[in-house]
A and B are shown apart, each in its own frame.
Chain A
């Protein structure tokens, strides 16, 4: 029996979908069998980030309404050897096309076959959010160091606390080292203390995330990038490893490193 984890944030644009794609891919790289479920019905884009857009034949609403079998709708990511799968959202329906009971049944089905089921939650706290958390065993909360995202995250934690899900774990995304060091934004400790939830990981701002997402390759596939390292650490922590947090300090090159071009 697998585990269903919902990736949520409240506010839009903080990196839920990107995080879902990358954590899912990182878990698959660790040898887990993962299914990603896009719940952003009407505004799907998890498939785009994974580069699977052209493979969609059936979607989650087709499954719920009985037009397709579950295994017909699930898309296999060919880059992995039977490790990563996607259940795409519908584009021609809205968030009310599915309800909590159907979700619980659907995710229950998926948990039988997969080690991890990652649910990409839509922004907001309406039906789409309710559906997404209804079937989850665990929650990952994505926020950025911006006050608006943190405020929404706080609201989401409050809502999740009212469900049987245990306290969500936090990812602080898009951290700009310089700004945080100068104190322009809340630092990692402040955010974690304010929200009083467990910190799952931090992701530094990295142009490569957008660049690789645009090509349909999650950034985590390339281990050289700082954001990729962040997502890999998060995946390992989900699996129960103890991985130290990446440091915030900007490394200053010594004169010798500059001369010899070392990193």
Chain B
């Protein structure tokens, strides 16, 4: 019978390559065999590290434990399990973290718009309406309600909007009240952004400063990190 599991030496130790097409049971059998073989051949008195590569198969925790049980002992150690695939759940989590949610609507009094990751809202936030995101919030429209960025605790989130009406901004645990600007004096029609500075105090800055203060925004890598 052709061997499914193959062993490849690398600098750090050994790669244990388990093809996705092989059935788990035969893999486990082969591993047991391999283990005894290796045990015989091994003269080393230092620890040998294994990196398990499972190709297009994802092993669940139970399966990983089985393999660990077979392979690991005083000298053999499994360093990591790696596969080319991720679960849809995990993928969605990454996706939601790294790509902003686009919403085109008005958030009315009493409504709550909540998203994972960043939120780009095209529409108004009416008085009494709330937008909430685990990441940053960008509002294109009149902002008169409550915006809560980084509500799960991400303090480096920001809120970008035109702060000319009565409103409230929260970033993480910090709250900032925005008073309506009287008449035209001193108000700009331009957007600004709210962030938490190094002293944990909420501050409003002109939009030009965003790149300086939060250079990471707009450069999300996403994925396996």
Where the two chains meet, the residues of A that have a C-beta atom closer than 8 Å to any C-beta of B are: 151-152, 154-155, 157-159, 161, 194, 196
Asked if B106 contacts A151 (CB within 8 A), the reply is no
By a CB distance below 8 angstroms, the chain B residues around A158 are 108-111, 129
Majority secondary structure of chain A interface residues (helix, strand, loop or mixed):
helix
B127 at the interface (CB under 8 A from A): yes
In the complex formed, the residue of B with least CB distance to A194 is B126
Interface size class of B (residues with CB under 8 A): 10 to 19
Give me the 8 closest cross-chain CB pairs, A-B, nearest first.
A158-B108, A155-B109, A154-B109, A155-B110, A158-B111, A154-B108, A154-B126, A151-B109
By a CB distance below 8 angstroms, the chain A residues around B111 are 158
By a CB distance below 8 angstroms, the chain A residues around B128 are 151, 154-155
In the complex formed, the residue of B with least CB distance to A153 is B109
By a CB distance below 8 angstroms, the chain B residues around A154 are 108-110, 126-128
| Minimal beta-carbon separation of B119 from chain A (angstroms) | 18
Majority secondary structure of chain B interface residues (helix, strand, loop or mixed):
loop
Most B Cβ at <10 Å: residue of A152, A154, A159:
A154
Most B Cβ at <10 Å: residue of A152, A158, A196:
A158
Most A Cβ at <10 Å: residue of B126, B127, B129:
B126
In the complex formed, the residue of A with least CB distance to B142 is A194
18 contacts between A and B (CB under 8 A): A151-B109, A151-B127, A151-B128, A152-B109, A154-B108, A154-B109, A154-B110, A154-B126, A155-B110, A155-B128, A158-B108, A158-B111, A158-B129, A159-B110, A194-B124, A194-B126, A196-B106, A196-B124
In the complex formed, the residue of B with least CB distance to A157 is B108
| Minimal beta-carbon separation of B68 from chain A (angstroms) | 50
By a CB distance below 8 angstroms, the chain B residues around A152 are 109
Which positions 159-218 of chain B face chain A at CB distance < 8 Å? none
By a CB distance below 8 angstroms, the chain A residues around B126 are 154, 194
Bound together, the chains give a CA A151 to CA B144 distance in angstroms of 12
| Minimal beta-carbon separation of A9 from chain B (angstroms) | 13
8 A-B pairs besides A154-B128, A161-B108 with CB distance below 8 A are A152-B109, A154-B110, A154-B127, A155-B128, A158-B110, A158-B129, A194-B126, A196-B106
Interface readout for B123-137 with A: 1 if CB under 8 Å, 0 if not?
A: 010111100000000
By a CB distance below 8 angstroms, the chain B residues around A151 are 109, 127-128
Bound together, the chains give a CA A82 to CA B127 distance in angstroms of 46
Bound together, the chains give a CA A158 to CA B124 distance in angstroms of 13
Bound together, the chains give a CA A48 to CA B111 distance in angstroms of 36
Bound together, the chains give a CA A159 to CA B124 distance in angstroms of 17
By a CB distance below 8 angstroms, the chain A residues around B110 are 154-155, 158-159
| Minimal beta-carbon separation of B187 from chain A (angstroms) | 18
